[in-house]
Structure formats: C-alpha cells, structure tokens
Homo-oligomer: A and B are copies of this chain.
C-alpha cells in the first residue's frame, strides 16, 4: 500500500518508523537505490539495500549509519594483513550478507530474489526491492577525475568538489517488474529524505520510473532531505551546489515536481513553503506541509511516520490505519 523510494541512512530511518507504526509492516515496500553498489573483495555489496535491511531487522548501527551494531572486525584485520584494501570497512556479520548475496547471484538468482531471501532470513516483514536487477553505477566527476561512488564517498570521504554525476549502465538497465508494480499498485508513494542526486536520482533515472510515478493513482509525497540548507547526513548540499543548483528545499521540489502531490518541508524551513507552492501552482498544484523531519533518535522515526500518515489521511487517501496510530 505504501511504497518508499529510499537511499541509505535517512531513508532507512523513515522506513523504520513507518514499519513500526503501520498495523501491518507487510503493507510497506521499499525501493532501494543500487547505484551505490560495489564489488569489495570480490563480493557484491549493496550498501543502501543493506542499510534498509539491517535497520528494519533491528541490526543496524545507529551511530555509524552502516553495518551491523556490535559487529566484529576479525576478517577485515586479517585482510589488512594480506594487503587487501580495507578502506571499505566490512564487519564479520556484514561480510556474511555479502557472501550470501554473491553466492546466490552466482547461482543465477536475481538481485530482487536474493534481497527477498536475505530479508526473510532477517525477519524483515516489509518488502525490500533493489531498484533494478541490472547494474547501474554512480560515477562522480571531480577535479581528481571520474570516481566510482564509493571511492568518492567512503575512500575519499566525499571531500572532492562534485563537477558532475553520471549513472553508468542506464542504457541497458531496467527497473525490475516488482518495482514497477510497487509504483503502480501503491496508494501512497513516498520519496524518502535521501540524497536527491545519488540516492533518489538513479531510481528516477531508470527508464520508465518517472513515467510510472506520473501515471500511478497513488498519492506521491516527498520528504525534504535538506533542513536549513544542509543534509542531516551526507553530501547532498555540496553535490547540488557542485551541479549548479541551490541547496534548498525548493530545489528538491523542482527535481520531483513532475510527479509530486505533496512536499514535506521541515518546520525549520516553513518560511519557504509559500514560495514553493507558488512556484508549482500549475499545471499541477503541489501542496506543501511542514513537519519536523529530523530523526536524531528512534522515537523521532515513529513521530515522523505518524505525522506523515496523518497528512496522507488528511488528503483523503484510503489507508486502513487506526486512529490510535496517529499523533495527538
């Protein structure tokens, strides 16, 4: 019933909040970015998918934002001794995820099937879908050259100015049938507060996804990833600026306006609400609402989820959500 487009940490927090407050977490589907995927030690790593899975399974490390809480580093330390690259830190339990994924992919299963299998084994009751079964890889153009996303993001700590971003593989990649169905059949589609360029951007860039979002009967909502000109986590603001855009919620609304019904601004930015609404008054009227979108802790995830559900119900969307779930 609810489909969320998500990157890693910020999206996973909102997804966690929704899965917690929804009477049936099985009514939630997450479409996770896979353009951050990379090969480490010969293994297929899907950072955003894993962050969503681990968060929903209650395994995530809330401080780090990646990996498994309390994970150990024995394999990493030994690989360091062998001279293997260790800038992408993989804990021992996390490593098992990549081993299982890689093994099952080599057996011929689709990434969608592999992800479902991992989710089931982790006790995750919501549906987690990689955006595509085909490889799409973000490449960041910087003064130091073209960097694969994890080189830019993890190895070089997102310190390089961003001159451009491209998604290798788009020419042949397709969204999975499950993703298209999740957009078509949802009553609500939520674009999570994730990086609009490198998390949501690749999902929207897949052939047919924007069309599916424009054509769905679902109510389409986006939660701003920018609060007071900055991302809570990650380089969204710097990336937007590097690409010549202002790091403001108005930019986010512009990026999604062709399919969006409701834009969720942070209360701290509510002075921008009127101008965003005015900018998108026609041909389609974009409503703007303000809530507290910042999620520093677990209770704030459910608070935001409840606030969103209340706004969704206020739009007249038919969701079987009891009154008790809502705020107040």
What residues of chain A have their CB less than 8 Å away from a CB belonging to chain B? 41-43, 71-72, 74-79, 81-84, 91-93, 95-97, 99-100, 102-103, 106, 117-118, 121-122
With A81-B122, A121-B83: A75-B95 Cβ-Cβ less than 8 Å: yes
Q: How distant is the Cα of A74 from the Cα of B77 in the complex, in angstroms?
A: 14
What is the minimal beta-carbon distance from A251 to any residue of chain B, in angstroms? 40
SS class, residues of chain A in contact with chain B: helix
Contacts of A72 in B (CB 8 A): 72, 74, 92
Contacts of A74 in B (CB 8 A): 71-72, 74, 91-93, 96
Q: How distant is the Cα of A72 from the Cα of B95 in the complex, in angstroms?
A: 13
Q: How distant is the Cα of A103 from the Cα of B84 in the complex, in angstroms?
A: 9
What is the minimal beta-carbon distance from A163 to any residue of chain B, in angstroms? 31
Q: How distant is the Cα of A92 from the Cα of B100 in the complex, in angstroms?
A: 15
Q: Determine which of B78, B81, B82, B100 lies in contact with A82 in the assembled complex, contact meaning CB atoms within 8 Å.
A: B100
What is the minimal beta-carbon distance from A207 to any residue of chain B, in angstroms? 31
* Interface core residue of A41, A77, A100, A106 (most chain B CB under 10 Å): A100
With A95-B95, A97-B82, A121-B82: A106-B42 Cβ-Cβ less than 8 Å: yes
Q: How distant is the Cα of A117 from the Cα of B102 in the complex, in angstroms?
A: 25
Q: How distant is the Cα of A79 from the Cα of B98 in the complex, in angstroms?
A: 10
Q: How distant is the Cα of A55 from the Cα of B147 in the complex, in angstroms?
A: 41
